[in-house]
Amino acid sequence: MDSRARAHPGAAKRGRTPRGTPGRRTRKDWSCLLLVASFVGAFGSSFLYGYNLSVVNAPTPYIKAFYNESWERRHGHPIDPDTLTLLWSVTVSIFAIGGLVGTLMVKLIGKVLGRKYTLLVNNGFAISAALLMACSLQAGAFEMLIVGRFIMGVDGGISLSVLPMYLNEISPKEIRGALGQVTAIFICIGVFTGQLLGLPELLGKESTWPYLFGVIAVPALVQLVSLPFLPESPRFLLFEKHDQAGAEKAFQTFLGKEDVSREVEEVLAESRVQRNIQLVSVLELLRSPFVRWQVITVIVTMACYQLCGLNAIWFYTNSIFGKAGISPEKIPYITLSTGGIETLAAIFSGLVIERLGRRPLLIGGFGLMALFFGIITITLTFQDHAPWIPYLSIVCILAIIASFCSGPGGIPFILTGEFFQQSQRPAAFIIAGTINWLSNFAVGLLFPFIQKSLDTYCFLVFATICLTGAVYFYFVLPETKNRTFAEISQAFAKRNKAIPPEENTNSAASDAKVTRRPEPDPASTLDNYTKNGIV
């Protein structure tokens, strides 16, 4: 529950009593439509992000040949190899630039349209990008492919900010982590689908590679026709649209029950505290002493998420499989195992996150990655000394991927939604998304130089990053499982050395209880706090 409800013990007690056994929450406080909303939202959003990460790998030689043909047709001579390399680098990395642009657009679009309709409008970016990229070969314009990748990046930037917010706000706190992992699961499924469709027997051929990009329109269309029938985030409706009737109906739909007075009371209590608080800007959030360590933790989490070295693993996969004696024509099929391991590990994380918690999965994931990065450095250094060593390298690759997807692959997006109150959440996702996409771009830009100068020892750099992240989370990160947003804020208050203004109401209520003063009406007292300018 939030700080306003906890400020008045009587109200809190009344709000926590559900139907059935007194004092206990019913085990199933959600409906099938809650799962449908999460799956439809993720299929048209995070799935496309994962798909676009892997879809460019298989058709690389055909796309480069297309660039060369287009250049020669226009200029009368073949393209210079350096120019071709530059064009290809731009094609791959511009996806991250588009993601950064999309992230910066989230607050403006989300304030006007809300969570659900922002996801719906975002499908327009995906469909237009799919058409541009799918028609680029027929039009003979490689610029269409580059622009399409940029627009697809904008779609990904919006998706990875709005989808976690939407899932976070429609979920009961008891399954908030498990439902939040849907984002990571569909990213992994998207990566696997891109690898699968890129096989030569499917769409990874010279004549059919444009269809690989046309497929992007299918998930976007599914979301476009499905999401309008699902409710908006009830917290958005109450906080920003002041539509209590709509929020109650949304709660009833998502929770699968008629009596949602307890949930509405929790949100209304928080709403009264923050009645006169506008959406916080990024600069205000960065300057606020009340959320200093939340912001630092989000920045560290997102930086480690991208800089942990998973991209290095993809770079070395084919060469390691080749050293193990796997023929080049079979390597694409063996590579599918990495996508399968990703998906299974993400599903495992979603099943156990509410039992184990966010903290152990995050610390354990980065810790195991550091361990296996150290082992793979040794195996790659001595891979010619024994025939079985390359197979140990393959095991390390799969272990690193599984360690990443079991925790670090999805929890950063969950934590960003859990650390902040409603008015701070859009700005927080802008900060998280900016760090995410800038780190993504930095890895793509710097990794070739790191690999060239350090060779296989580059994995020691990533091991250091993972170990540093694990140590930081061990000492700083509180467990957020089954906690309300206000309780999580309180967990950080001691480290921030500043109590948020709304938390002061708790102290006032506690003092009143100790001195046995008559307990005032919760709503009127909370209103007085706002009128007196405490917030």
Record the tokens describing residue 419, joined without a space: 């650390």
Q: What letter would DSSP give residue 456?
A: G
The answer to whether the beta carbons of residues 34 and 179 sit under 8 Å apart is yes
Compute the CA torsion angle 416, 418, 421, 426 (nearest 10 deg).
Answer: 30
Phi and psi (nearest 5°) for 459? -65, -25
Report the run of H or E that residue 444 belongs to, with start and end: helix 425-454
pLDDT at position 522: 39
Tell me the residue length of the chain. Answer: 535
Q: Are 132 and 151 in contact (CB under 8 A)?
A: yes
DSSP 265-291: HHHHHHHHHTTTPPPPPHHHHHH-GGG
Per-residue pLDDT of the chain (535 residues; tens, 9 = 90+): 444 444 444 443 343 434 444 334 444 556 788 888 889 989 999 899 989 888 887 788 888 888 888 888 888 888 888 888 888 878 888 888 898 899 888 878 877 888 889 999 999 999 999 999 999 888 888 889 999 999 999 999 899 888 888 888 888 777 777 787 888 889 889 988 988 888 888 887 888 889 999 999 999 999 999 988 888 888 888 777 777 788 788 888 887 777 777 777 777 766 665 555 567 788 888 888 888 888 999 999 999 988 888 877 766 676 677 766 677 777 777 778 787 888 888 888 888 888 888 899 999 999 999 999 999 888 888 877 777 787 888 888 889 988 988 888 878 888 888 888 777 888 888 898 889 888 888 877 777 777 778 877 888 989 999 999 999 999 988 888 877 777 787 888 777 776 665 545 444 443 433 334 444 443 443 344 333 333 3
Q: What angle do CA 480, 362, 304 make, to 5 degrees?
A: 115
Half-sphere exposure at residue 162, Cβ-oriented, CA atoms within 13 angstroms? 35
- Compute the CA torsion angle 223, 260, 1, 25 (nearest 10 deg): -100
- Is pTM, for the whole model, over 0.85? no
Chain center to CA of 163: 8
Query: H or E element: which one contains 364?
Result: helix 358-381
**Distance from C-alpha of 49 to C-alpha of 63, rounded to nearest angstrom:** 20
Residue in 469, 199, 448, 221 with CA at minimum distance from that of residue 339: 199
For residue 147, the number of C-alpha atoms closer than 13 Å in the C-beta half-sphere is 11
Residue 308: name the closest of 466, 154, 189 by CA. 466
Radius of gyration of the chain (CA): 25
19-42 as b/e, with b when 16 or more CB fall inside 10 Å?
eeeeeebeeebbeebbeebbebbb
Q: What is the pLDDT of residue 508?
A: 41
Q: CA 172 to CA 168: how far, in whole Å?
A: 8
* CB-based contacts of 17, cutoff 8 Å, min separation 6: 23, 262
Give the C-alpha separation, 41 to 159, whole Å. 9
Tens-place pLDDT, residues 351-400: 888 888 889 999 999 999 999 999 988 888 887 777 778 788 888 888 99
386, burial (CB in 10 Å: exposed 0-12, middle 13-18, buried 19+): exposed
Phi and psi of 366, rounded to 5°? -70, -35
Q: What is the dihedral of CA 390, 392, 394, 396, to 10 degrees?
A: -140
Q: How far apart are CA 235 and CA 120, in angstroms?
A: 18
Q: Name the residue type at position 379.
A: T
Q: CA–CA separation, 260 vs 269, rounded Å?
A: 14
- The pLDDT assigned to 218 comes to 94
User: What pLDDT sits at residue 514?
Assistant: 38
Structure letter (DSSP) for residue 371: H
- With a CB cutoff of 8 Å and minimum separation 6, the contacts of 5 are 11, 12, 15, 265, 266, 269, 270, 522
